[in-house]
Structures are given as structure tokens and as C-alpha cells.
Structure 1
């Protein structure tokens, strides 16, 4: 079987001008491209091979679509009390109210949701767990600290460019991130984007950081917020400049419910502003796996909280 049953997405103009942190991404062919989808049935060895080459693997339809959409509706129904959703709409659609909402209520509900049995089950469903066992070459360990995010249309902020190992330095570098869009996430909704070929860049950056941090205490050395790091552990908030600096392209995609993207801890990625033309809330989760026998970052042994500084 070929590695991918899907043809690469042909270049086309995004439905909106993609923006992040006040800057517009270039649509030039040498600065903007599209992720290559992969058929999960290609087998774990083919998937691992692609992961090594690309720094990511976009697995199309790995999870049951209907179950992902049902879970989206369940999550958003619990957040609805905050005023996030347009009254009278199906929560699984995620239509934003367009008005003010109570951030404190939404955050409290979100912290409850990431501690729930239902969320744990979603992240540990057998289809994904079995794949990760094969991918890490043994029994896979799912980090307890798991993150779920919602982003409303028109929210100005977007996640700056970074690579994940900055926040996981207390354990192995063989950790793998699974980013899961919870529901269809078209390009205009501001899903994750990846700097093409940047897993090699991340390796070089981390090697330099190790040299710079050599004189720090062990606790400070592993912190993404130490004196030698940029604010928040980010590589940059200027995504267009990043593409120019490394003569690379930002890779984007129209994700669908059921898709999962695996990426390297060295792969530089970011998000763009949610400019949903249909007024939809972007909902996603990012979780980390590794071989259970490898060193585990103890800081990730607690549930995610908004103030945990990781």
C-alpha cells in the first residue's frame, strides 16, 4: 500500500489572509504550503519513516469522525454556561455567541473537563493507544498533563512559534506530541501550522540552549522561563520573519474531525488567528506520549492548570 491514500492538497489561496500576533503571513509559494496527509493504514513503520523525514505525520481519519464530533458537543455544552455559544444552536457546531462571555466560568469548566473521565477516555482511546505503542517501540506512556484549548473567532492572540522540548527538558527527547482537532478545523479557524523542515532547526537550537544553560542550576536549566530563554519559551512571535529567516514555508491544512497530527518535540509550530468565516470556535487538544521505560519529566505528572508555568 502507498504511504498516503490522499493526494497532497494543491496550492490554493486560503479563504482569508492568515494572520498571527498582528502580522500577515505571506502567500508566496516559497513561504506558504500545505501539509501532506498520510493514510493511517500505511503501517507504523511507514509512519515512523515519514515522521523522521518530515518532523510530523498528519494521519487522516485515524479516529472515528462521529465520536470526535460527539465529544466536541459534550465539551462545548459544558462551556456554554459562560456564554460562549450562540443560543439555540447545536453545541457540536461550536457557533460562537459573538458577544461577551464569562472567561472565569469558562476557565473553571475547562479545568474540570481536563480532569474528567470522559476526556481521559478520549485521549486514551484504543485506536490511538495501539498506534502509539507501535510508534514508540514498546508500551506507550500518556503524560497526565494534557491540554485542551478553545479559541473564539476574532481572538487577537495566537500561539507564537516554538518547539515542545523547551517545556519537556526534564525527561527524554523521544517524546511525541499528538495534536487533535476536536471537530472540523478549516484553515481560517487558525489550527496548527508547521515550519517545513524545522525539526532540524529545533535540534540545533536546543544544542545551543544546552550550552547557554550549562552554568545554571538543574532546576533552572530545564525551565522554559530561565534567564537565557525568550519570553515564554517562544522562538518568535513574528511568523513571516521566521519563514524568511530559515528560507522555509509555513505548512497549513484544512483538518477534519478524526484527524491526528503527530509531531517531533523539535518541530517548530504555531497557530494563526481564528478568523472563521462561519463564526466557529476552534477546539483542540495536545497530548504527549513516550516509551514508558524512557525518563519522564516529573513536572508533567500533574493535571494541566492555567498557572502551572509549563
Structure 2
């Protein structure tokens, strides 16, 4: 575990977190607030509106999440990604070479599989999202599942999600689901505290300045007014200093679900797990079925689809 209690009994971050060659200073790190799903949907919705996220502890059956993790890695075993001799649910990364062409093909197959669709649309999650969205929830067809090797520099830069979903409603909810335990040092999502208000201002500024763009460019994260790939920055310490905010991290566990606003700024950090576990997670998007849907998200995720 990377979060421990200090001498005063206060929980603090034990391990440094880094991304893109920059370490986040301890004074710019904080802890995500847990929410017990048993507090009820109204209280959950209120926390989401206030904080821009809600970290739901144990919403999904832990054993089923672990079983799905094992299933995914069983199908990736032939790529050289997994070390032999271990329970595949552990997801221990191999040291040797990986057949990346095969790995990429397998991932594109997995996100189209009935098993993955069933995991994302499991009844408990669907019922919860219907209640949360106060109507029939629509799960976008484009769903992403990612694995991250330990000891690599791969980490998602800081961004907010609406940049990639401007073709539909802004009343979106992202569900980020750790597929297995993901303590902070494995590089789970970190959120810039209070930044859902900042994201709204950034988006308003973009809309005000996008009059010269074509309709196609206006909804694209890759237009001339956006940073590379729609990112805000790769420099997480600089963002925290610039906005006088903390990055909030957590020790996530299998069964947890984090819902976050399309405006909240978030990123990932490096996977520095000492036991060489692969980080595996999925991020999926929901909205009320009555709201406008971004047609670009009605196709399966494909590598290089520019979304």
C-alpha cells in the first residue's frame, strides 16, 4: 500500500508519484475521498456535483472483477506480455520481448468481445447508472480498456474528457473501473482537486474562441486551438503549482468504480509496482439516453481512431 497513517493518525501518501519525468511534490499530493454506495443515490449525486468525482468503494463484486482480470490476461498470454508460472489474475509482467502487433490485435478483439461487453453492462452497474442519471442510461459503444507495464514512461497526460466528446451532450459521466487492485504506485488515475470548475472555464474559453473553426474542427480535440492530442499538459507538478491545487490519488481495489465529471482535470502516473504487476483498467462513458449522443462514439474503440 502506498497510503499509510502517520504518527498523528492522518492518512498520507507514502510513495512519490511521477509522470513524464516529473515527480509530484508531497505538498501537491492529497487523497481521494471514499464514498460508501450505501449512503444513497441522492447523497452520491450531491458529492459528485460538489467534488467533480465520486469514488465508490466496492460497488462491484470483487471476485467477479478478479475473474475478469484473469480472463483478459489469459487471452494476452501468447503475446509475451505475461510472466509464466503465476496466476494470471496477478498480471505479473514478463521481462522479455512482447509481440506488440499481436497484443494490439488482441486488445481490439477483446474490446469487441461479449465478455467485455458483459463486464461493462453488468446489471448492478446498469441499475446504478440508471438511478444516478435519473433515467435510462446509455453506455457509449466506444469503450477503452488499457494495460500499463511497470517501469515504463507511459502515462496519460492531464486532460478533461469533454474535449473528446464535444459532438454530443455535455451531461456525460465517465466510469473508470480498476480491473484488479491498483495502489497509487501502480499509476491509477489522479484528479486535480476542484478542477471541474476550471475545466468548465477552459471549455467556455475554447467555445468563445472557436468561431473561425469549421464544425468538424470545433468538435475535434486535434484542431488548431488545442494542445497536442487535446491534452492540457504532461507536467503534472507545474499544473498543480499554476492552479495552486493538489493532485488527489488513491489505493484503488477491485470492485471500486470512480465516476467523474467531463470537466474535471485528471491524468495517470507511472506504474512503479515493485512486484511487476500490470495495471489494467477500463474507462467507459454514460449519459441519459434522451440527450444528444456524439455519433463518433457509436463505433468500437480502434487504435489510432483520433478520439
- Structure 1 residue 102: deviation in Å? 1.1
2:11 is matched with: 11
- Checking the alignment, whether the CA contact within 8 Å between 1:14 and 1:187 is kept in structure 2 is no
Q: Is 1:181 the equivalent of 2:178?
A: yes
RMSD: 0.9
- Structure 1 residue 10: deviation in Å? 3.7
Q: Is 1:94 the equivalent of 2:91?
A: yes
Among residues 150, 153, 158, which one is paired with 2:155 in the alignment? 158
> What CA distance in whole angstroms lies between the structure 2 residues aligned with 1:18 and 1:266?
23
- Structure 1 residue 33: deviation in Å? 0.3
- TM-score of the pair, normalised by structure 2: 0.96
Q: How many residues align?
A: 299
Among residues 116, 120, 136, which one is paired with 2:133 in the alignment? 136
- Structure 1 residue 13: deviation in Å? 3.5
1:23 is matched with: 22
Q: Is 1:122 the equivalent of 2:141?
A: no
Partner deviation per Cα, 1:230-251 (whole Å, 9 max, x = no partner)? 0000011100000001100000
- TM-score of the pair, normalised by structure 1: 0.95
Residue ranges of structure 1 left out of the alignment (5+ in a row): 1-8
Partner deviation per Cα, 1:258-289 (whole Å, 9 max, x = no partner)? 00000000000000000001110000000000
> What CA distance in whole angstroms lies between the structure 1 residues aligned with 2:296 and 2:73?
28
- Structure 1 residue 99: deviation in Å? 2.0
- Checking the alignment, whether the CA contact within 8 Å between 2:12 and 2:31 is kept in structure 1 is no
Residue ranges of structure 2 left out of the alignment (5+ in a row): 1-8
> What CA distance in whole angstroms lies between the structure 2 residues aligned with 1:198 and 1:135?
21
Deviating beyond 3 angstroms after TM superposition, the runs of 4 or more aligned structure 1 residues are none
2:220 is matched with: 223
2:76 is matched with: 79
> What CA distance in whole angstroms lies between the structure 2 residues aligned with 1:297 and 1:32?
34
- Structure 1 residue 42: deviation in Å? 1.2
> What CA distance in whole angstroms lies between the structure 2 residues aligned with 1:33 and 1:58?
14
Q: Is 1:260 the equivalent of 2:267?
A: no
